[in-house]
Structure 1
Amino acid sequence: MAQRKRAGLITRRSLDRNEVLLAYLFLHRTQYVHDSPTGSGHILSLLDSAPPNPRIAIGTTTEIPPTPQSFTENPHFVSILQRVVRAHAAADPRVQADALQFASHAGAPLLNNQRRRVRQGGSGAANYQGGTGGGGVGGWVHVHDQRAVPAFGRIPYPEDIMGSLLVDSEGNIVNREQGGDWEENRMYRLVTRAGIMTLSPFLRDRLREALVEEERRVTENDA
């Protein structure tokens, strides 16, 4: 008999030891797994509401843990994620620390000589270009997924970069009080070979707040 899934729990069914371990490792990342109402596959969500609202779910998968081949993202969730990251990334202590680190003596070459700016082409593909900023502007700091943190001095993979914020030569986020100067990266993927989306605690909390509000709004509209 199936039971409601919570973080760190799985349904009672015939799983071998390796499947149980993989399911636990996946759920331990604070995602929730729900059986699909169709009886095939699973719905992934950041909220524990059951049944989950498909409109605000991360997406669906035919395998646990999800893979790029088994996962189908929810475009509406992606739009909410980008809205939240755009609004709050500049206030994330982890992003601020990255910006200061890049401007430090050790990180100066990254900021000044190997700047990568994410620009959107007509097809939505990211175009990474080097160069130095002008007029006292230092460069761009990437806001990246935590599932595969790059070594110091390394640029994250394009599919792990949610977007970039402009920083000055001292590592301060430009226009931080207004949310910063943000450039979205449309090459970002919710699921890669390294795993599912893993946000910093700060951004994860802001995203959950936005999803709870969206769930409330959708429920009221459907009532």
Structure 2
Amino acid sequence: MEGGREEVMQSAVKQSLERGLADTVIFEASTRPGDGYIHITDERAIPPAGRIGETEDLIGSVFVENGEVVPSTYEPQPSYRLITQHGPPILPKGIDEHLLHVLRSISAKENGDAPGGDETS
């Protein structure tokens, strides 16, 4: 996978939505009262109930329709920061596990430990 850390992470976030792996986001979508966008927030600095997190902690947004995530609508938040005064990322459940899988695949490919192919599978 080409790109820097941010691109790798954002790609993994979108893939986790497309593959139904983003458990926390899927749960939040299922409890949303109506259609609209929800923010995917880094959990290192969880905002008070009913509030939106700091822009540096907003990973991206995705549209919810009839209680389900519409992965094709995912938009990364350009002001998101990997490291803030609150520390490194703490990603929502499911997204975190998928990103680890992607990073391990990239590492294995770079170290020659894996056959060629799509490291994001």
TM-score, structure 1 as length reference: 0.45
CA deviation map 1:33-69 (0-9, x unaligned):
xxxxxxxxxxxxxxxxxxxxxxxxxxxxxxxxxxxxx
Whole-Å Cα distance in 1 between the matches of residues 72 and 39 of structure 2? 12
**Letter of the structure 2 residue corresponding to residue 147 of structure 1:** R
The whole-number CA distance in structure 2 between the counterparts of 1:209 and 1:186 is 24
Query: Aligned pair 1:87/2:15, yes or no?
Result: yes
**Helix, strand or coil for the counterpart of 1:141?**
strand
**How much does 1:195 deviate?**
1.9
Unaligned runs of 5+ in 2: 114-121
In 1: Cα distance, 2:92 partner to 2:52 partner: 18
Alignment of 1:154-193 (within 5 A): 154-168=51-65, 170-174=66-70, 179-193=71-85
User: C-alpha root-mean-square deviation of aligned residues, in Å?
Assistant: 2.0
What secondary structure, in the 3-state scheme, does the structure 2 residue paired with 1:186 have?
A: coil
Structure 1: state its 5+ residue gaps: 1-74, 109-137
The 2-side partners of 1:160 and 1:171 are apart by: 24
Question: Where do 4+ consecutive residues of structure 1 move more than 4 Å?
Answer: none
Greater relative CO, 1 or 2 (CA 8 Å, sep 6+): 2
Question: Pairwise mapping of residues 4-23 of structure 1 onto structure 2 (< 5 A)?
Answer: none
Deviation at 1:200, TM superposition (A): 2.4
1:37-56 matched pairs, under 5 angstroms: none
Contact 1:160–1:188, Cα closer than 8 Å, also in 2: yes
Whether the 8 Å contact between 1:163 and 1:185 is mirrored in structure 2 is yes
Change in 2 beyond 3 A, CA 1:156/1:101: farther
Q: Distance in 1 between matches of 2:59 and 2:72?
A: 14
Question: What is the TM-score with the length of structure 2 in the denominator?
Answer: 0.79
* Partner in structure 2 of residue 16 of structure 1: none
Aligned partners of 1:148 and 1:160 also within 8 Å: yes
Q: Residues 157-192 of structure 1: CA distance to partner in whole angstroms, max 9, x if unpaired?
A: 111111111112x32223xxxx34211111100111
